[in-house]
Amino acid sequence: MLPRKHDLFFYPCDQCHESMEPNPDIRPLNAMHDSTLEHGRGRIWCLSCHDLENRNYLKTLLDELVDIDEAYLVCGGCHANRQKDWVFGAHGKRIANWQGDRTLYNCTHCHDPHSPAIKARAPQPAPPVRAGLELKHGIDHEKTAIWESQEEHDEQ
Partner 1 sequence: MTVIRFVIDGFREMFRGPREYWIWLMTLSVIVLFGAWRYSEQLTSGLVVTGMSDQVSWGFYISNFAFLVGIAAAAVLLVIPAYIFDRKDIKDVVLVGEGMAVAAVTMAILFVIADLGRPDRLWHMIPGIGRFHWPVSLLAWDVLVLSVYFLLNLAIPFYVLYSHYRGKEPSFRLYFPFVVIAMFWAISIHTVTAFLFSANPARPFWHTSLLGPRFIASAFASGPALIIITLQIVRKVTSYHVSQSVIDLLAIIMTFALQISLFFVGAELFTDFYNEGAHAASIHYLFLGLGGFDSLRSWIWFALALNMIALVILMIHPLRRKTLTLNIACVLTFIGIWIEKGMGLVIPGFVPTPLGEIFEYVPTSVELSVAAAIWALGILIFTLLAKAVIAIEQGKLRHHAKDVKYSS
Partner 2 sequence: MNHDGGKFDEARRRFLRGLGMATATAAAQPAWGGETFQDAFADFFQKDYRRMSTEEINAALERIERKAKSRYEVEIDCQNTPPQPGVVYGYAINISRCKGYRDCVHACVKENNLGRDSQMQYIRVLQLDQGDFNLEHSDHYYEPETVPVEGKHYLPIQCMQCDDPPCVKACPVEATWMEPDGIVVVDYDWCIGCRYCMAACPYWARHFNWTVPEIPAEEMNTNTHYLGNRPRPRGVVEKCHFCIHRTRKGQQPACMEACPTGSRIFGNLLDPDSEIRYVLANKQVFRLKEDLGTEPKFWYFSD
Which residues would be at the binding site for partner 1 (CB under 8 A)? 129-133, 135-136, 138-139, 141
Residue 33, helix vs strand vs coil: coil
Q: Which residues face 50 on adjacent strands?
A: 58
Q: How far apart are the first and last CA of the chain?
A: 62
Which span sits near partner 2 by CB under 8 A: 3-11, 31-39, 43-51, 91-99? 91-99
Query: Quick one: what does residue 136 bind among partner 2, partner 1, none, with the CB cut-off 5 to 8 Å set by partner type?
Result: partner 1
Which pairing describes strands 94-95 and 103-104: parallel, antiparallel, or unpaired? antiparallel
Query: Quick one: what does residue 123 bind among partner 2, partner 1, none, with the CB cut-off 5 to 8 Å set by partner type?
Result: partner 2
Q: Which 95-114 positions form the footprint of partner 2 (CB under 8 A)?
A: 95-100, 105, 110
**CA 85 – CA 67 distance, rounded (Å):** 21
- Confirm or reject binding of residue 6 to partner 2 (CB under 8 A): no
Q: Which 117-146 positions form the footprint of partner 2 (CB under 8 A)?
A: 118, 120-131, 135, 137, 141, 143, 145
Q: Which residues face 153 on adjacent strands?
A: none
- Confirm or reject binding of residue 19 to partner 2 (CB under 8 A): no
- Of 77, 78, 75, nearest to 92 (Cα)? 75
**CA 130 – CA 110 distance, rounded (Å):** 36
The site for partner 2 (CB under 8 A) is made up of 85, 88-100, 105, 110, 118, 120-131, 135, 137, 141, 143, 145
